Structure 1
Amino acid sequence: MTTYNTNLAAEFYVLSMLHRLGADAALTLGNKKAVDIIVASENRTITTVEVKGLAKAYDWPADNIHNFLDSQHFYVLVCFEGKITDPLFPPSVWIIPSEKLSPFIKKYETRIVISRAKIKADGQQFLHKWSLITG
């Protein structure tokens, strides 16, 4: 399983969940993009979603994250917990508004990540919190 396939699996999982919950959501196309999914609400508000997917329980790469202030932008962190090839095992998903993401960012000398340890310790209020996007 390649990183690209993991990201696609995560994006389609998130898109599927949003549709299951009644959202009007569309996947954006392209390989290097900041917005993966666009969600239109009934009152014509647009919400944007960036999906970060992992096959195993690691930190999420975050070198390309620059949006921490948009109240209509969300980061959806998907982890298949090492069982990406098992279709009966659901992934763990954290839905985090962009303005709440910065406490989970960890900067190293050569890279920036979203810390899985910090998310697990201090981000349980975002675990499977789809209603933050769907209302």
Structure 2
Amino acid sequence: MKKNGYNTNLASEFHVISLLHRLGLDANLTLGNKKAVDIVVVRHAGDAVTIDVKAVVGRVDWLMGNVPSVPRENHFVVLLTYDGKFEDLHHSPRVWVIPHAELVQLVKSAKPPSTMKYVSRSEVTKLTQYENAWGFISGTNAI
């Protein structure tokens, strides 16, 4: 199968939706191609959180093209890596659930003339408190 970013992102969004539903959460995929919110989770009436999903197939940094630089309350970024095993259906991706305010501090700019922004894989893999931290989304973990 030909790998492309669209397939990776779509598969990753549905993976996250699946996990959230398995946790008993009301999670909904948003529509649109250029957005900073991929999933909305309604925890109770008047209490919702939003999620931006970023995924990579290989062991590389995550690009942060549309992630807002000003911290957003009740917003999370879920980072997934397939570690080069995207097509291996026996392999589950590694996942980090990071509050947006924390992620903003991790975003770096590439060297000029590039204007690309990214989050370093080597930094994220050290953030064990965020790996599979689904309690942030459900509201059972304090931020």
Q: TM-score range by the shorter chain?
A: over 0.9
1:131 and 2:111 are equivalent in the alignment: no
Alignment match, 1:2: 4
Deviation at 1:53, TM superposition (A): 1.0
The 5 A counterparts of 1:1-135 are: 1-108=3-110, 109=112, 110=114, 111-121=116-126, 123-135=127-139
Given that 2:71 and 2:104 are in contact with CA atoms closer than 8 Å, whether structure 1 keeps it comes out as: no
Deviation at 1:43, TM superposition (A): 4.0
Q: What fraction of aligned residue pairs are identical, expressed as a percent?
A: 41
- For 1:28, the aligned partner's letter is T
Given that 2:27 and 2:40 are in contact with CA atoms closer than 8 Å, whether structure 1 keeps it comes out as: yes
CA distance in 2, matches of 1:128, 1:63: 23
CA distance in 2, matches of 1:76, 1:60: 11
More helix by share: 1
Query: Where in structure 1 are there 5+ consecutive unaligned residues?
Result: none
Post-superposition Cα deviations, 1:65-100, rounded to whole Å, max 9, x if no partner, equal: 115422200000011111111111110000000111
Larger mean Cα displacement after TM superposition, 40-49 or 19-28: 40-49
Q: CA RMSD in A?
A: 1.2
The normalised TM-score by structure 2 is 0.89
CA distance in 1, matches of 2:69, 2:37: 11
Query: Where in structure 2 are there 5+ consecutive unaligned residues?
Result: none
Given that 2:62 and 2:118 are in contact with CA atoms closer than 8 Å, whether structure 1 keeps it comes out as: yes
